[in-house]
Amino acid sequence: MFYLIETKNQLEKLTDKLNASLTRYLEFIQGNDNTHPALAEIIAIYLEIDGEDFIIPLNHTECINWDKDAIISVLANYEFCVLDKKAALHAAPHISYTDIQHSIPLLEQHTTQAHAWYYRKFPHTKVNKMIPIGKHLERCKQKTHSIFQYFHGEVNTYFDKILLPVLYELEKNALKFNDKFDDYFTLKNKKFSIKENHIYGWYNPYTTTGRPVNNFNGLNFVGLKHDNGERDCFEPDNDFFVEMDYDGYHPRLIGDIVDYQFEGNVHNTLAQIYFKSKEITPQQYKESKTLTFKQIYGGIDKANLHHPFFFKTQNFIDIIWEEFNKKGEIKCGSYIIKKKDHPKIHPQKLFNYYIQATETETNIRKIKIIQDYLGDKQTKLVLYIYDAFVFDVSKQDGKQTLIDLQNILNDKFPIKLKTGAHYGALQ
């Protein structure tokens, strides 16, 4: 049986198999696995069709290669399962994909001795062009074997249809940086995530709660410090940055879940409980934030259970903990936290996961609305950091655009606005 598709006749036979197939799996093979998918050259495409394996070479040194656009136009007639839909969309957005990574356990890193050797010797090149094509097939077969041991057709629709496309669209909006960048950041390899004076971020949503982490090529956008000059390195492509972030987001989110509504400033309200005073000093206000987060994430102090917010929150924690132990899982919107995956979990940790999952899904659905609204406008969303959204704003879109964006985010909880000529100058 042939596996390497190099001739027109072989491609026609492959197409016949695709037409008659029940299951189709696809993986794009990049020039280097560590390159951001938005910048990566695709050197080959691996297909698994009803248990048979094929590779279509596009730019490999030992193969007769196809034109990428011609192959994509063929594959665009079919739907494929993929292990990473977001990366696949960067490679070829016109093909229909179903992401299955969220439906299976976290897989081990699949490799071969050849891959390990070449990556040690040539880590910063398009090393996959040098690795024998048969070794790429071997690695891909190992991976698909592991995948289909666990995947039985169940797909998280929210994850597949909303979360991943939203993060893909967000990743496309690379951040512009200035000549201060090299003073603060040392990347593993600039070619992996930089094009000219723009750097691409990578949102990894394959976490317990789907809350994406953003750490790629040695730079964590979520962890950028406020006070050391790091943020001064990033400036808008358009006219200025606007950051919109929620005021007291987690307490308000919890309040919404447990049916408690805060009046006025969250941290001032809670400070009055802690310090038993209507007049709160700046220092007490600061301490109030610390005390609140300590209780939300670490456990509620019994001394505060007299207040309705903390009483209702503790009651909710007790309810979900009981259900979690009774059913072996707890549903948080579109997420399911399973006891078998977290044998050492405790009530407060479960509650933390629940809040993170709720926060993420709430925000992602709002970002979807924002992306649809912005459409062909010059203004774009360039950063998402849990309770904050950073926009690269164009004046030509008009003031109404900012008003509309604020209204989208401010449908339930109040937000604060900051603006500045660069990311470190937001006021």
What pLDDT digit, counting tens, does each position of 306-360 carry?
A: 999 999 999 999 999 999 999 999 999 999 999 988 888 999 999 999 999 999 9
Which comes out higher in pLDDT, residue 109 or 255?
Answer: 255
Q: Does one domain contain both 60 and 144?
A: yes
Closest residue by Cα to residue 335 from 107, 103, 166: 103
pLDDT tens digits along 38-79: 999 999 999 999 999 999 999 999 999 999 999 999 999 999
Whether residue 242 lies inside any domain: the answer is yes
Residue 81: give the domain boundaries: 8-155
DSSP-derived pairing of the beta strands 96-99 and 79-82: parallel
Mean pLDDT of the 158-180 span: 96
Looking at the structure, tell me whether residues 188 and 315 fall in a common domain.
no
Average pLDDT over residues 233-252: 95
> Looking at the structure, do residues 37 and 142 belong to the same domain, yes or no?
yes
Do residues 178 and 320 share a domain? no
pLDDT of residue 148: 86
Q: How confident is the model at residue 251 (pLDDT cuts 50, 70, 90)?
A: very high
- The answer on pLDDT for 1 being more than 60 is no
The answer as to whether 223 is a domain residue is yes
Q: Which contiguous run of DSSP H or E holds residue 292?
A: helix 282-298
Residue 31 and residue 179 in one domain: no
Tokens of 247: 């005021």
Q: What's the confidence (pLDDT) of residue 152?
A: 82
For residue 302, tell me if it sits in a domain: yes
Instruction: Give the whole-angstrom CA distance, residue 90 versus residue 202.
Output: 12
pTM score above 0.85: yes
Sign of torsion over alpha carbons 229, 231, 234, 238? negative
Cβ(323)–Cβ(330) under 8 Å? yes
Cα 342 to chain centroid, rounded? 22
Indicate if the pLDDT at residue 106 is higher than 80: no
CB 211 within 8 A of CB 360: yes
Beta-bridged to residue 389, according to DSSP, are: 244, 384
Q: How far apart are CA 52 and CA 110, in angstroms?
A: 19
> Is-contact 232 423, C-beta < 8 A?
yes
Mean pLDDT of 264-275: 90
What value does the mean pLDDT take over residues 382-406? 96
Average pLDDT over the chain reads 94
289 and 391 in a common domain: no
The count of structural domains within the chain is 3
Instruction: State residue 55's pLDDT score.
Output: 97
pLDDT score of 151: 86
What is the three-class DSSP state of 10? helix
* 150 falls within a domain: yes
Last residue in a domain, options 128, 155, 182: 155
Interval 190-206 mean pLDDT:
95
Q: Are 26 and 111 within one domain?
A: yes
Tell me, what's the pLDDT at 88? 98
Give the containing element (helix H, strand E) for 316. Answer: helix 308-327
- Of residues 222 and 60, more confidence is placed in 60
C-alpha distance from residue 20 to each of 49, 70, 78, 79 (Å):
10, 21, 11, 13
pLDDT band, residue 150 (cuts 50/70/90): confident
